[in-house]
């Protein structure tokens, strides 16, 4: 018999959007690291809604003036059910011994927090309940469920026990909540204001919806003791060149960086960068390259990003009524880094508000800017197809091509002309995927001048005027 998992009590303080204490929680958690694969558990993966999916649903809700509510499932994992082959015993909880059974273990009848399979068992149970209620799972994101009846539409996004309900009418929202209450115990949180660390403000009169992380950013600033630091206008100095030469190389330099929470800081910045702050995405990616061996110069660059966030803490992404359908911008930075790898960046917008963006170091060393832009466009095309599929699941198939803007004429010509080119014959065949996407009518690659290339802020550090210009183009501005 495998070793029985031990357990412990975990205490947590939950806060609201303003940072005030909302609830004190105590939870008995099994320490699942003692479980044996293939004996105590099998599959463990449980999907959660992508941030891009959540932002897309919010953008559509702002456009159509849909209802947006939130519910929280109480003790969600306890609603799951073990498979027949999963027999798990656990030691008695600390502080609550069974006096007449000393030394005996407990046979778990339900998944407990901390067990490796608990998340998956809860997701499977929730999927079963939602499908019984008439919802179907979105094939583009398995943590999004959709129900359409006539002219009514209901959407549920899931992140473990947090559920966002978007519906075309108040009555439909109440019907969905009643169906959920009949299956599991939930906390009805009413209209949405706070989700996964994001503050959401839905102005029904102005038909706008804003998304920000004020409380989260404030906690990051306090965590690293920068409350009184100078405010900065850019997340990264355009003239700064971070390199491995700035990494520690002597015992004194290693000792100087030993207690610096570099990885924790870059991890904190990453959640802001992928959440509601695309303006720091490039800078965060740049400093994260040195997580293994950061130096003092790298740490100063991290603090600059935090100081920038402190100065822009009131900025928020805004979605509004229909302006433009899905469109994207793609750009690449040349081989200016010490490892000669270019940077790809893209951003996709719905009605002028960003719903998906990415900064990625290209895998290969390119020989020209045309090749770098071509690879970046292919990278963006994959995201465009996913967004089209996701929107198709919600609104129905998209009939027109999605426009993707690029500021390199040669790269655009290369996507439209598949004849042999002596200067591009070395490009791997997988990067020619964009040609097929354009040929089948899903994507339309068009030229955009560099001064209007919104994705430029995702590939390089920019001076303050340009950074503010592109942030405004992304509807990222003060409240």
The residue ranges of every structural domain in the chain are 7-212, 214-311, 323-472
Q: What pLDDT, on a 0 to 100 scale, did the predictor assign at position 87?
A: 83
Helix (H, G, I), strand (E, B) or coil at 332: strand
CA distance 471 to 454: 8
CA 49 to chain centre: 9
Per-residue model confidence (pLDDT) at position 107: 86
**Beta partners for 156?**
145, 165
Task: Specify whether the CB–CB gap between 307 and 227 falls below 8 A.
Answer: no
Along the 479 residues of the chain, how does pLDDT read in single tens digits?
456 678 888 898 877 766 778 788 888 888 888 788 877 788 888 899 999 999 999 999 999 999 999 999 988 888 888 888 888 888 888 877 776 777 788 888 888 888 888 899 999 999 999 999 999 999 999 999 999 988 899 999 999 889 999 998 999 999 999 999 888 988 888 899 888 889 999 988 888 899 999 999 999 999 999 998 899 989 999 888 888 888 888 899 889 888 899 999 999 999 999 999 999 999 999 999 999 999 999 999 999 999 999 999 989 999 988 778 899 999 998 755 666 788 999 999 998 899 999 999 888 888 788 888 989 999 999 999 999 999 999 988 888 999 999 998 988 888 887 655 666 777 777 778 888 889 888 999 999 998 999 999 999 989 999 999 999 888 888 87
Which structure tokens are listed for 330?
Answer: 């793609």
Q: pLDDT value at position 339?
A: 67
Distance separating alpha carbons of residues 155 and 168, to the nearest angstrom: 9
Contact 458, 357 (CB under 8 A): yes
Q: What per-residue confidence (pLDDT) applies to 1?
A: 44
The Cα 250–Cα 270 span in angstroms is 29
The pLDDT of residue 17: 62
**CA-to-CA distance for 85 and 105, rounded, in angstroms?**
19
- The dihedral through the CA atoms of 381, 386, 390, 396 has a sign that is positive
Tell me the CATH number for domain 323-472: 3.30.420.10
Query: What's the confidence (pLDDT) of residue 4?
Result: 66
- Nearest Cα neighbor of 357 from 431, 430, 273 is 273
Cα 35 from Cα 42, distance rounded (Å): 10
198 in helix, strand or coil? strand
């Amino acid at each position: 018999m495998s070793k029985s998992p031990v357990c412990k009590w975990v205490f947590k303080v939950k806060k609201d959007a303003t940072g005030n204490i909302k609830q004190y929680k105590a939870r008995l958690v099994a320490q699942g690291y003692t479980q044996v694969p293939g004996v105590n558990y099998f599959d463990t993966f449980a999907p959660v809604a992508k941030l891009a999916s959540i932002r897309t649903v919010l953008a559509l809700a702002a456009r159509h003036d849909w209802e947006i509510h939130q519910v929280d499932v109480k003790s969600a994992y306890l609603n799951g059910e073990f498979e027949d082959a999963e027999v798990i015993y656990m030691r008695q909880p600390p502080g609550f011994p069974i006096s007449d059974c000393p030394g005996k273990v407990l046979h778990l009848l339900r998944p407990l927090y901390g067990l490796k399979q608990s998340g998956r068992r809860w997701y499977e149970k929730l999927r079963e309940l939602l499908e019984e209620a008439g919802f179907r799972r979105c094939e583009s994101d398995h943590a999004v469920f959709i129900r359409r009846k006539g002219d009514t539409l209901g959407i549920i996004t899931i992140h473990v026990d947090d559920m966002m309900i978007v519906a075309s009418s108040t009555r439909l929202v109440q019907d969905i909540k009643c169906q959920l209450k009949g299956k599991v115990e939930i906390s009805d949180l009413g209209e949405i204001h706070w989700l996964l660390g994001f503050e959401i403000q839905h102005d029904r009169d102005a038909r706008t919806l804003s998304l920000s992380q004020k409380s989260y950013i404030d906690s990051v600033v306090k965590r690293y003791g920068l409350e009184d630091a100078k405010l900065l206008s850019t997340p990264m100095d355009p003239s700064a060149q971070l390199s491995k030469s700035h990494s520690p190389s002597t015992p004194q330099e290693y000792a100087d960086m030993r207690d610096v929470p570099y990885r924790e800081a870059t991890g904190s910045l990453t959640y802001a960068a992928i959440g509601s702050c695309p303006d720091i995405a490039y800078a965060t990616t740049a400093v994260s390259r040195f997580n293994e061996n950061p130096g003092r110069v790298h740490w100063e660059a991290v603090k600059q990003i935090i100081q920038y966030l402190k100065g822009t803490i009131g900025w928020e992404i805004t979605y509004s009524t229909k302006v433009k359908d899905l469109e994207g911008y793609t750009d690449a930075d040349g081989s200016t880094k010490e490892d000669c790898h270019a940077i790809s960046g893209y951003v996709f917008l719905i009605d002028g508000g960003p719903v998906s963006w990415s900064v990625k170091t290209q895998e290969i060393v390119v020989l020209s800017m045309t090749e770098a832009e071509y690879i970046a466009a292919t990278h963006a095309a994959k995201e465009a197809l996913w967004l089209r599929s996701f929107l198709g699941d919600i609104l129905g198939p998209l009939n027109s091509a999605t426009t993707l803007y690029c500021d390199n004429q040669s790269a655009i010509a290369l996507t439209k002309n598949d004849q042999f080119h002596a200067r591009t014959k070395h490009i791997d065949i997988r990067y020619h995927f964009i040609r097929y996407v354009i040929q089948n009518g899903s994507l339309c690659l068009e030229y955009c001048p560099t001064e209007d290339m919104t994705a430029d802020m995702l590939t390089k550090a920019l001076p303050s005027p340009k950074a503010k210009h592109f942030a405004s183009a992304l509807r990222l501005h003060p409240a």
